[in-house]
């Protein structure tokens, strides 16, 4: 997950009963596998003393910043969103490195072409049991 990020900022009040998502996400960020995926990712924890709701702010490798409300968003959902967006960024980078335009625009006439798909195996092609 951290391989797509340059910075993670986790803010919470330690006495706030809604801090579970922040703590779980922090544990995921501190996991050995996560740290090994991007040792240069900055993990910043800000312990607050006010009633500010727990939140997680991530900065992607391309500089885009996204903030999650940790009171209503489970840590696993935040992780999934980061991985999904990271895969899109990875794909975008691959296209740009190959000299292709991004986003990929598929011409309408190609979208209208029928999809032949994969031929299903005939009954005689299936292995006998």
- Are residues 54 and 13 in contact, defined by beta-carbon separation less than 8 angstroms? yes
pLDDT in tens, 4-59: 999 999 999 999 999 999 999 999 999 999 999 999 999 999 999 999 999 999 99
Model confidence band, residue 103 (pLDDT cutoffs 50, 70, 90): confident
CB atoms within 10 A of CB 57: 16
Provide the token pair at 74: 């489970």
Instruction: Provide the token pair at 55.
Output: 């939140």
Q: What pTM value is reported for the model?
A: 0.74
**Could you tell me how far CA 77 lies from the centroid of its own chain?**
9
């Amino acid at each position: 997950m951290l391989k797509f990020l340059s910075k993670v900022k986790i803010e919470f009040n330690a006495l706030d009963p809604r801090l579970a998502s922040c703590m779980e996400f922090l544990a995921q960020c501190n996991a050995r596998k996560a740290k090994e995926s991007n040792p240069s990712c900055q993990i910043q924890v800000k312990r607050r003393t006010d009633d500010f709701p727990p939140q997680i702010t991530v900065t992607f490798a391309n500089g885009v910043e996204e903030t999650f409300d940790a009171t209503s968003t489970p840590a696993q959902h935040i992780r999934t969103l980061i991985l999904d967006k990271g895969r899109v960024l990875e794909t975008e980078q691959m296209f740009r490195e190959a000299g292709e335009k991004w986003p990929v625009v598929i011409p309408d006439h190609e979208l209208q072409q029928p999809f032949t798909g994969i031929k299903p195996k005939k009954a005689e092609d299936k292995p006998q049991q």
